[in-house]
Amino acid sequence: MPLKLMYITNNPQIAKIADDCGTNIIFIDLETIGKAERQPGDTVKSHHSLDDIRIVKSVLKKAKLLVRVNPIWENSRLEINAAIENGADILMLPYFKTAAEVKTFINIVAKRVKVMLLCETKEAVENIDEILTINGIDRIHIGLNDLHMCYNMRFMFELLTDGTVEGLCKKFRKKNIPYGFGGIARLNEGLIPAEIIIAEHYRLGSDAAILSRSFCNWEKIENLEKIENIFKIGLKEIRDYELSLQQIDTEKLKLIHLDLINKIDEIVNCGEKV
């Protein structure tokens, strides 16, 4: 099954290009609470608004609109209601730690739109069995960036080598909850080549990934035609590669996994900050 590919942008022109080229989910990011404190330094942070939901929604033809709201806080009900009223198709709950937070979120959403959980804290991992007993979870995404920082790891893809992601995927699969993890760059790009990461998605039964800023950082490209070409060519390359993965057996996927582990170990052991 082809990966559901997500792209984060609040720019309607870019959202339309991504949609037209086959991106499955456009991602508006309202999360601000606690983000600067836990992601210091050069981590790129979005500054999207409720108005962006309505504007971006108006240009989409096929892609669903995902909105990441804040973790549960005193104004969650107002924020969630506004996101739904402005046109969100899916709401994402980030940085949760307990089953109680998940229940609160699902109860506020009240089946009006789909619910996606972003599993990105060690507490969420520790409490995942209880969390998975809750009805109303439509999809789960594993957030490698925040989660690896929770475990004081040097490199977010270490979570693919220590069994954390694989263990979570097995639990999600047992509950028949669709899941994905992390992000991908263009093929042959990134510290870990995207094709190796995509193969890991197939090995683990994941069906979703975020197109990272290294796939297309539209804020640094002024020419819309160039952005469109990046999406057209980049998505075709990913889809063609996925077709090739459907032809290989589990043993080949295991060999690619071993290559992934070796590459991650080399990066972690190089002594430089990742």
Tokens of 252: 């080949």
Question: How far is Cα 233 from Cα 81, in angstroms, rounded to an integer?
Answer: 37
**Average pLDDT of the residues in 83-87:** 98
Whether residue 274 is contained in a domain is answered as no
What pLDDT score was predicted for residue 42? 47
Q: 257 in a domain, yes or no?
A: yes
Identify the domain containing residue 220 by its residue range: 4-268
Confidence of residue 271 (pLDDT cuts 50, 70, 90): low
Q: Find the CATH number of the domain harbouring 210.
A: 3.20.20.60
Q: CA angle, corner 71, sides to 67 and 73, nearest 5?
A: 120
DSSP 219: G
Q: What is the pLDDT of residues 217-260, one digit of tens each?
A: 998 888 999 999 999 999 999 999 999 999 999 999 999 999 99
Task: Provide the β-strand partners of residue 7.
Answer: 26, 211
**215 in a domain, yes or no?**
yes
Report yes or no on 70 lying in a domain: yes
Number of domains in the chain: 1
Q: Are 273 and 210 in contact (CB under 8 A)?
A: no
* pLDDT at site 44: 55
For residue 273, tell me if it sits in a domain.
Answer: no
> Do the domain assignments include residue 241?
yes
112 belongs to a structural domain? yes
Amino acid at 143: G
pLDDT digits (tens, 9 = 90+) for 199-218: 999 999 999 999 999 999 99
Segment 87-135, tens digit of pLDDT: 999 999 999 999 999 999 999 999 999 999 999 999 999 999 999 999 9
Alpha-carbon dihedral angle through residues 186, 188, 192, 195, given to the nearest 10 degrees: 80
With a CB cutoff of 8 Å and minimum separation 6, the contacts of 135 are: 106
Q: Return d(Cα 33, Cα 12) in angstroms, integer.
A: 25
